[in-house]
Amino acid sequence: MNRLISTTSALCLMAGAASAEGTLSVYHWFEYIPQELVDKFTAETGITVTIDTYDSNESMLASLKAGKLGQYDVAVPADFMVEIMAETGMLDTFTAEEMPNLPNIAPQWLDVPFDPGRKSSIPYQWGSTSFAVNRGVYTGDISSLGIIFDPPEELRGKINVLDSQNEVLILGSLYLGVPQCSTDRTQLKALSDMLVAAKQHWASFGSDTAKDVMVSGDAAAGMIYNGFSAKARAEGANVEYSYPKEGHVLWMDNVVLLKDAPNRANAITFMNFLLEPENAAAVTNYAAYTSGVSGVEPFLDEAIRTSPENNPPAGAAPGVFAQVCDEDTQKLYDAIWINLKK
Amino acid sequence: MAAPTPTTAPDSGASSDATYRSARVPLLLPTWLVIGFFLILPVALMAVYSFLTKEMRGGVIWEFSLAAYDQFFINRGLFGDEPASLEWTYISVFGRSIAQAATATTLCLLIGFPTAWFIATRAPATRGVWLFLITVPYWVNLLIRTVSLRFLIRENGPLNDALLGSGLIAEPLALINTNFAVQLGLFYSYLPFMVLPIYAAVERYNFTLSEAAADLYASRWVTLRDIVLPIVKPGIIAGCLLVFIPSLGAFLAPNLLGGAKNFMIGSLIEEQFKRSLGNWPFGAAVSMILMSLVLVLLLLYARSMARAEAR
């Protein structure tokens, strides 16, 4: 109780001191930044941080479109969403002089296709999406996406898939060897049929519950983000994450500077803060993904640094980023998704 | 002076009429503001949006279009070049949601009516306690209650543990991610909406009528059917509407307890705004169609009430 009171009063004092330096309004994924890191930022800079959360790239985009643009300073969209937001004119740009820690970005993430030359975004965390299997239920080979799309007897009816069109359709395409944004009738028909046939073996669709169902045992296998799988393992679930031979989905979440940010300077201070290796490592230690910043290794927890989820085995098939399809093509994929969930 | 009373009575009536007439606008203003701001404006906005052109990934282009309604009703195949036929996809989503809401309403009525009857027939002093007990769980947020239910009924949850421990079942029941779980969730979420209006109706019921019926040799069943039910019918109908309508658009129970495997009206609309489909005009159109359905239901209810009053 005493500690609670002292923490609260410390926070109040901090807030009092901070209000002089201004505020920062962050639009972020749920459960994706450790509170200690936010407190550290406030202590270092005196800037008070308010965080609103979202549960999908699309819901973030929708609320910004519905009038929230201009209320937030930064958001954390995935790679393809950075591209979409840039195209729609939702992003502001910064200069290299404003962001002294820009060179801390790991070389392979400096010049990325979704933000050439890093003018509006910095890396937050990156990771992969494939699937995990409860080894207590199934001990066989899990090197193929067939575990999800043509599951063995033991796993039928015990599979959770992400409730996300992008991930389900891309992993399905990888399984069938169909390219993304295909307009080929035979390929799309095959993809749709394969998914509908696979669905009878699925127990549930859920993205934010993807980790919990593996921990609770509601699902024995599930499409999952690598960090979620690592967290499930850390929470005691006997799960193994697979880097399937057909490939996996790669993604990178990025902190972007939003257009009409009410506290632009504070936003840049925050982004620069996140590019400090120690701070980037704090996020990684919390979220169990991988940082896009060089020099984080000394600050990483041993378990995170060496986790099988973050270190694909030698010879693993490469991951693919989600592609942004044009409107007519996207319509076809939307139709496949609606048909799958109708 | 001769007859002051007869003259003052109509006079005072007229003057109070005049008072109300002059105050009518300020008195009605709050109501009109509330109705205008919270009902007419949003619905009008939705109606307008449903006739606009979709902007990719959310948003609208201000050009008139019937595309949203076309997508709902007309099927032209995946590639849009097959001969037009009736689109069953969304009608089946509506059918599923309606069936589910109807089942939930029936369940709530079957449990809610006896419950309301029980409470209304307790001593007046204890009724408050029973009503209080009915409402206690609803102090907790709906989302949290739905998630808790998930924990209770999961394969290695307390319900299955208890049943296994008692030897009633040999294998854990697969309850989670089934229609049963969804029904349970809806039933649990909306039961008080059934109990409270029925209670209000039963409480006003004059129990001497039942005694009179018994004196006239009516059986219990006949008393219930011919005396009680017609009198408490408005409460039952109100309860049914209060359960049916929110169940129709519910998406928490289907998503969290049913595994989100199939769209419900609620999740279909949600997907248009919050998720990848990002088709606002279509989401607005589905909402309009849903609202029209509900409106027809309410009109039927109003008409049956008017007829009952006329009798």
pLDDT in tens, A78-133: 999 999 999 999 999 999 999 999 999 999 999 999 999 999 999 999 999 999 99
Interface test with B, best of A200, A218, A325, A328 (most B CBs within 10 A): A218
Q: Select the residue of A58, A188, A209 nearest B274 (Cβ to Cβ).
A: A58
Interface test with B, best of A201, A209, A340 (most B CBs within 10 A): A209
Average pLDDT over residues A327-332: 91
Q: How much is the mean pLDDT over chain B?
A: 88
Q: Provide the Cα torsion B130, B132, B133, B134; round to 10°.
A: 90
Nearest CA-CA distance, residue B174 and chain A, Å: 10
- Check pLDDT > 90 for residue B171: no
Residues of chain B with C-beta less than 8 angstroms from the C-beta of A341: 260-263
Query: Does residue B261 contact residue A340 with C-beta atoms inside 8 Å?
Result: no
Q: Where are the alpha helices (DSSP H) in A205-263?
A: 210-216, 226-234
Cβ–Cβ gap B263/A166 under 8 Å: no
pLDDT of residue B111: 96
Q: Where are the alpha helices (DSSP H) in chain B?
A: 4-35, 41-50, 67-73, 89-120, 124-135, 142-153, 158-165, 179-204, 208-215, 220-222, 229-249, 252-256, 265-274, 280-310
C-alpha distance from residue A7 to each of A36, A38, A46, A112 (Å): 12, 15, 17, 41
Average pLDDT over residues A264-289: 96
**Spatial distance between the Cα atoms of B148 and B176, rounded to a whole number of angstroms:** 12
- Check pLDDT > 50 for residue B86: yes
Nearest CA-CA distance, residue A136 and chain B, Å: 15
Domains and CATH numbers, chain A: 2-125+252-305 (3.40.190.10), 127-250+311-341 (3.40.190.10)
Architecture of domain B92-278: Orthogonal Bundle (1.10)
**Spatial distance between the Cα atoms of B179 and B264, rounded to a whole number of angstroms:** 12
CB atoms within 10 A of CB A241: 25
Cβ–Cβ gap A206/B259 under 8 Å: yes
**Structural tokens at position B72:** 């709902």
Q: Which residue of B has its CA nearest to A212?
A: B151
**Spatial distance between the Cα atoms of A254 and A120, rounded to a whole number of angstroms:** 9
**Spatial distance between the Cα atoms of B180 and B186, rounded to a whole number of angstroms:** 10
Position B222 confidence tier, pLDDT thresholds 50, 70, 90: very high
Q: Are strands A48-54 and A23-29 parallel, antiparallel or unpaired?
A: parallel
Position A261 confidence tier, pLDDT thresholds 50, 70, 90: very high
Q: Are strands A248-257 and A121-134 parallel, antiparallel or unpaired?
A: antiparallel
> Which one has a higher pLDDT value, A154 or B17?
A154
**Spatial distance between the Cα atoms of A246 and B271, rounded to a whole number of angstroms:** 29
B152 touches chain A (CB under 8 A): no
Nearest CA-CA distance, residue B89 and chain A, Å: 6
pLDDT of residue B106: 96
pLDDT of residue A153: 95
Average pLDDT over residues B297-311: 82
Nearest to A148 by CA among A113, A172, A173: A172
- Check pLDDT > 50 for residue B173: yes
pLDDT of residue B275: 78
Cβ–Cβ gap B277/A334 under 8 Å: yes
Going from N- to C-terminal start, the domains of chain B cover: 92-278
**Spatial distance between the Cα atoms of B131 and B110, rounded to a whole number of angstroms:** 18
Q: What are phi and psi of A34, to 5 degrees?
A: -70, 140
Position B306 confidence tier, pLDDT thresholds 50, 70, 90: confident
A195-227: buried (b, 16+ CB within 10 Å) or exposed (e) per residue? beebbebbbbbbbebbbbbbbbbbbbbbbbbbb
pLDDT of residue A6: 47
- Check pLDDT > 50 for residue B81: yes
Query: Does residue A140 contact residue A188 with C-beta atoms inside 8 Å?
Result: no
Residues of chain B with C-beta less than 8 angstroms from the C-beta of A216: 151, 154, 156
End-to-end CA, chain B: 44
pLDDT of residue B15: 54
Burial class (CB within 10 angstroms; exposed 0-12, middle 13-18, buried 19+) of A108: exposed
Question: In this predicted structure, which of A13-17, A253-257, A267-271, B200-204 has the lowest mean pLDDT?
Answer: A13-17
pLDDT of residue A31: 87
Position B25 confidence tier, pLDDT thresholds 50, 70, 90: confident
pLDDT of residue B16: 62
- Check pLDDT > 50 for residue A189: yes
- Check pLDDT > 50 for residue B255: yes
B172 touches chain A (CB under 8 A): no
pLDDT in tens, B274-287: 877 889 999 999 99
Query: Does residue B100 contact residue B264 with C-beta atoms inside 8 Å?
Result: yes
3-state secondary structure B240-258: HHHHHHHHHHCCHHHHHCC
Q: Which residue of A has its CA nearest to B153?
A: A218
B154 touches chain A (CB under 8 A): yes
**Spatial distance between the Cα atoms of A169 and A333, rounded to a whole number of angstroms:** 8
Cβ–Cβ gap B260/A58 under 8 Å: no
Nearest CA-CA distance, residue A210 and chain B, Å: 11
CB atoms within 10 A of CB B285: 27
Contacts of residue B19, defined as CB under 8 A and 6 or more positions apart, other chains included, come to none
Rounded to the nearest 10 degrees, the angle between the axes of helix B142-153 and helix B158-165 is 30
Q: Select the residue of A66, A165, A188 nearest B276 (Cβ to Cβ).
A: A165
Nearest to A259 by CA among A3, A64, A9, A6: A64
Contacts of residue B296, defined as CB under 8 A and 6 or more positions apart, other chains included, come to none
pLDDT of residue B303: 87
pLDDT in tens, B105-115: 999 999 999 99
Nearest to A204 by CA among A241, A171, A166, A157: A157
Cβ–Cβ gap B93/A342 under 8 Å: yes
Report whether A31 belongs to an annotated binding site: yes
**Spatial distance between the Cα atoms of B246 and A47, rounded to a whole number of angstroms:** 43
DSSP, res B138: G
CA atoms within 13 A on the CB side of B202: 23
> Which residue is it, tokens 């052109």?
B53
- Check pLDDT > 70 for residue A324: yes
Report whether A302 belongs to an annotated binding site: no
Average pLDDT over residues B77-101: 89
Q: What are phi and psi of B258, to 5 degrees?
A: -95, -5
Position B79 confidence tier, pLDDT thresholds 50, 70, 90: confident
Q: Select the residue of B155, B274, B279 nearest A218 (Cβ to Cβ).
A: B155
Cβ–Cβ gap A330/B79 under 8 Å: no
Residues of chain A with C-beta less than 8 angstroms from the C-beta of B155: 217-218
Q: If interface means Cβ-Cβ distance under 8 Å, which residues of chain A face chain B?
A: 56, 58-59, 61-62, 65-66, 84, 157, 163-166, 185, 188-189, 192, 199, 202-206, 209, 216-218, 327, 330, 332, 334-339, 341-342
CB pairs under 8 A between A and B: 89
Query: Does residue B187 contact residue B109 with C-beta atoms inside 8 Å?
Result: no
Cβ–Cβ gap A62/B278 under 8 Å: yes
B173 touches chain A (CB under 8 A): no
Percent of chain B with pLDDT over 70: 94
Nearest CA-CA distance, residue B258 and chain A, Å: 7
